[in-house]
Amino acid sequence: RTEPSQQQTGRTAAHDSAFLRACRREPVPHTPVWFMRQAGRSLPEYRKVREGIPMLESCMRPDLVTEITLQPVRRHNVDAAIFFSDIVVPLKAIGIDLDIKPGVGPVVAQPIRTRADLDRLRPLDPSDVPYVTEAIGLLTAELGATPLIGFAGAPFTLASYLVEGGPSRNHEHTKALMYGDPELWADLLDRLADITAAFLKIQIEAGASAVQLFDSWVGALAPADYRRSVMPASTKVFDAVAGHGVPRIHFGVGTGELLGLMGEAGADVVGVDWRIPMDEAVRRVGPGKALQGNLDPAVLFAGREAVETKAQEVLDAAADLPGHIFNLGHGVLPSTDPDALTRLVEYVHEHTAR
């Protein structure tokens, strides 16, 4: 083709955005800001368009996905959009019987715990998720110079939902498999790595400018177990999407002790929760990586002055870092006042303008 594709045009337009420059650790006009779960229940316009439509169904409708993804960009002036979907969408797409229950999370009808169960995890093909490709095409056309972040669940976090059958506090079935049958565990994670890599590639090929791998629950592991039992699968995912020129972000909750390894797994940007300060995170991650984080999402309930004080603490702790992306330490809580988010974006932009 001689004409640049729409996808290439989208990425070219976003190439010099503050967000992508920060991912590459280049100088920025201001510290870029976006929020995990910026689309969702904190926004009245989200609750309105979602009325009567189940979560998973909404992820399969390109018109809705496009509208919901754009809502926080319009309202908050954030520096990036994140594709509206869920980490379990590719699993649903290959035929796993699961649902997202409001107020609960993903629930899997038949948990995966034996070797025979592994056969249910077939590879993901682009034709399984045509609505993803279509929605990203619509989005990159609308977003112009605002980058779109694609994402997927990391093998450990997906395994946790599949093995437990739903959300879990202690991940006991998951850990029983990991400690008790390392070979089956490795095969399970390897299959999930292939599905995850395929899901990210589909998003990149459709026009996503960056990708984030969510290993939300991996903070439940000790570093030695992470290195032995999880890191090979996460590395496989990062390696599979290297070479597209698209920054790779890696995030988990309670991962203070794992930050170095999560960078080593192949991320360009490491996400940090609120439990350690950004300057300490810089030391733990080591040189050469950008960092994303890390305001406690609950701070947004404390009033404007407290929000600004705590946001400034984050900015100060990251001041010497080339490549800071301001974010929360985890997702926006559903009852957050959206105006507090809009004001926070404004605060970070104003107080970091170079």
| Active site (catalytic) residues | 37, 41, 50, 86, 161
- Tokens at residue 331, please? 């997702």
**37 sits near ligand CP3 (criterion: CB under 6 A):** yes
Rounded CA separation 349/269 (Å):
20
Give the per-residue contact string, 38-67, with ligand CP3 (x = CB under 6 A; - = no). Answer: xxxx--------x----x------------
The verdict on whether residue 330 carries a ligand-binding annotation is yes
Nearer to ligand CP3, 25 or 338 (CB): 338
- Selected from 19, 84, 185, 199, the binder of ligand CP3 by CB under 6 A is 84
Tell me if 155 contacts ligand CP3 by CB under 6 A. Answer: no
Which one of residues 18, 20, 28, 36 is an interface residue with ligand CP3 (CB under 6 A)? 36
Residues in the chain: 354
Does 214 bind ligand CP3 (CB under 6 A)? Our answer is yes
161 appears as a binding residue in the annotation: yes
Closer Cβ to ligand CP3, 66 or 321, answer by number: 66
**293 touches ligand CP3 by CB under 6 A:** no
Report the C-alpha gap between 49 and 72 in whole angstroms.
13
Contact 333, 298 (CB under 8 A): yes
Query: For residues 216-245, which are near ligand CP3 according to CB under 6 A?
Result: 216
Q: How many whole angstroms separate alpha carbon 115 and alpha carbon 338?
A: 46
Contact 39, 46 (CB under 8 A): yes
Summarize the annotated binding site for substrate as residue ranges.
37-41, 86, 161, 216, 330
Summarize the annotated binding site as residue ranges.
37-41, 86, 161, 216, 330
Q: Which residues bind ligand CP3 (CB under 6 A)?
A: 36-41, 50, 55, 82, 84, 86-87, 100, 102-106, 151, 214, 216, 331
